[in-house]
Chain A
Amino acid sequence: MEHFNLALVDWSRAQFALTALYHWLFVPLTLGTSFIIAIMETIYVKTGKDIWKRITKFWMVLFAINFAIGVATGIILEFEFGTNWSNYSWFVGDIFGAPLAIEGIMAFFLESTFFAVMFFGWNKVSKGFHLTSTWLVALGSNLSALWILVANAWMQNPVGMHFNPETARNEMVNFWAVLFSPTAINKFLHTISSAYVMSAIFVLGVSAWFLLKKRNQALAKRSMIVASTFGLIMSVFMVITGDESAREVFRVQPMKFASMEGLYHGQTDAPLTAVGFFTKTPKPEAPNANEWGPKIKIPGMLSYMAALNTHAYVPGINDLIHGNTAHNIISYYERIKMGKLAIAALKEFQLAKKAANDSVARTALKTFEANYKYFGYGYYNDPHKLIPDVPLVFYSFHTMVGLGLLFVLIFLLTLIYGLKGKLPVKRWILYVALWAIPFAYLAQEAGWMVAEFGRQPWVVQNYMPTLSAVSNINQTSVIITFFLFGVIFTVLLIAEIKIMLNQIKQLKDGGQQ
């Protein structure tokens, strides 16, 4: 590890994290409001009532603002792949290239073509064609999300590829294995359903503001019924897919799973921490690094989450580091040995190929292939460096889950009050709905922090740690762009909030009944 510039690694990670977190402020609202708008327009077409047309057009404007501000922020991430993460870009070669190409060509063109009809086509095309266009925009934006999430899922659980030691590239051998890996399916479904929940909270919150101000009440009440119904259904879906995702994490990323719970010592009948906090930041080297304040635990729930069995054994961080023969867990020390063999063998293979020494090359290749499974571990001497930031992952996970469950309750209450016609008088729930908006964003970001910080130090699980993925570039340029992005994205965010607030405040034709 000594020959890696760890400061460069950290700045590169910080730059990517900043870009990704800002990008993700805009994306979920696009994914979710596109469907909410499609539902509202469907109601308009079915009922023929003008109020639904006005409702649809209002939310369409907010959708457009968010889309316009957010569009192309993701392209900067692709730039960063090529500049700051060149080893990684080369290494993942074919795997990333295909999904991202499909994303760009198919989904974006589908979305942007019908976007024009959605905005320009009122009273110009038939109701049916306009409605179809609105649904196709929703479909297009969610298809964009599919491909990038498939790519990210591959980073968490690399499948369907063969590493070519002559080119140092992973070559896709099974496209369907990549597309339909359980990690990809769960990641996609959980991410989009959480985006739908966030969007529903947004619609709920903005509508609640109208009711609190006693303005545009007809629009607000109807929007809240749609949002709370959609949000409630999607919340259930989000919880189910979240549960499946956790099981998938347990299967392919047990260190991340243990970190999500701050579990250092494995156990059967493992409880889930519903509420808890660290009183001391655990030192990964300390075998009993497990300092907690008071905890509220759900008995057996972590075991159940891991394996659908309340008695299942859940390995802790120390089981993974030191191994556990009773549960067939190979230690990180062993993995590091094998990783070093793989790295040395790859080097030997390359030298032998250059020297045209086929028999040495063949032997080296055999050693490499036998140990490649743990290639990335070979960069480390101390297995404790392979533990993610446990408090960060723990708190992110519990923030995400806690808020997700809170949103279910909010949707339930607003739906019940909405159907009873009591929303305008239940001001406390309106304030809750309004203030839930920033927490919906927080839950989104927390989810990605679990996914990405929980995967550390890996950029490709088990095969490539972040320290070997970065480009050998000038650290100063990374620092400059970090702060430059901070400024650019903050300006964009302020612009979005200002423009949206203007549109919300200016709305006058939302009706009062």
Chain B
Amino acid sequence: MVKLVKKVFFFYYDGFRSMTIGRKLWIIILIKLFIIFAILKLFFFPDFLKTHFKTDQQRSNYVIEQLTK
């Protein structure tokens, strides 16, 4: 089991180390994920119902109010 885990680990480790274009792509992916989750999600995309209401009952009441106004 330990041998297998080691094998899998080194498979990924060697793979990442020998990347060429892959390194550039991974940098792009990581920058993108940072922008998406650390900036966009935090500052621009709060979950409206989760942040404005504490319970599902309150959320239901609010949505029904919006739907029937």
Contacts and interface: CB of A to CB of B under 8 A. Distances in A.
Interface of A: 3, 61, 64-65, 68-69, 71-72, 75-76, 79-80, 82-84, 86-87, 89-91, 116, 119-121, 124, 166-169, 343-344, 346-347, 350, 468, 471-473, 477, 480-481, 484, 488, 492, 495, 499, 503
A387 to B, nearest CB: 23
B12 A87 contact: no
A80 B25 CA distance: 26
The 10 closest A-B pairs by CB, nearest first: A120-B15, A68-B25, A86-B48, A79-B45, A347-B68, A82-B47, A471-B48, A83-B45, A168-B63, A167-B60
B29 A346 contact: no
Given A64-B25, A468-B67, A166 B60 contact: yes
B56 to A, nearest CB: 7
A82 B64 CA distance: 17
B46 A499 contact: no
Contacts of B18: 120
Please tell me the size bucket of the interface on B: 35 or more
Contacts of B33: 72
B58 to A, nearest CB: 11
Nearest to A88: B63
Interface string B36-69: 1000110011111110000010011101101111
A90 B66 CA distance: 11
A473 B36 contact: no
Contacts of A65: 21, 25
B50 A82 contact: yes
B61 to A, nearest CB: 8
Given A65-B25, A68-B29, A82 B48 contact: yes
Interface of B: 11-12, 14-16, 18, 21-22, 24-26, 28-29, 32-33, 35-36, 40-41, 44-50, 56, 59-61, 63-64, 66-69
B21 A64 contact: yes
A89 B29 contact: no
A472 to B, nearest CB: 7
21 contacts: A3-B69, A61-B21, A64-B21, A64-B22, A64-B25, A68-B29, A72-B33, A76-B36, A79-B44, A83-B44, A83-B47, A86-B48, A90-B60, A119-B22, A124-B11, A168-B60, A168-B67, A343-B67, A343-B68, A347-B64, A347-B68
Nearest to A350: B64
A473 B41 CA distance: 15
Contacts of A119: 15, 22
Given A82-B49, A82-B50, A121-B11, 8 more contacts: A69-B25, A71-B29, A72-B29, A82-B46, A91-B63, A166-B60, A168-B63, A473-B48
A89 B66 contact: no
Between A76, A82, A86, A89, the greatest number of chain B beta carbons within 10 A of the residue's beta carbon is seen for A86
Contacts of B60: 90, 166-169
Nearest to B12: A116
Contacts of A492: 28, 32
Contacts of B44: 79, 83, 477, 480-481, 484
A477 B45 CA distance: 9
Contact of A346 (B28, B61, B68): B68
B40 A79 contact: yes
Contacts of A346: 64, 67-68
Contacts of B29: 68, 71-72
Nearest to B60: A167
Nearest to A376: B67
B63 A79 contact: no
Contacts of A344: 68
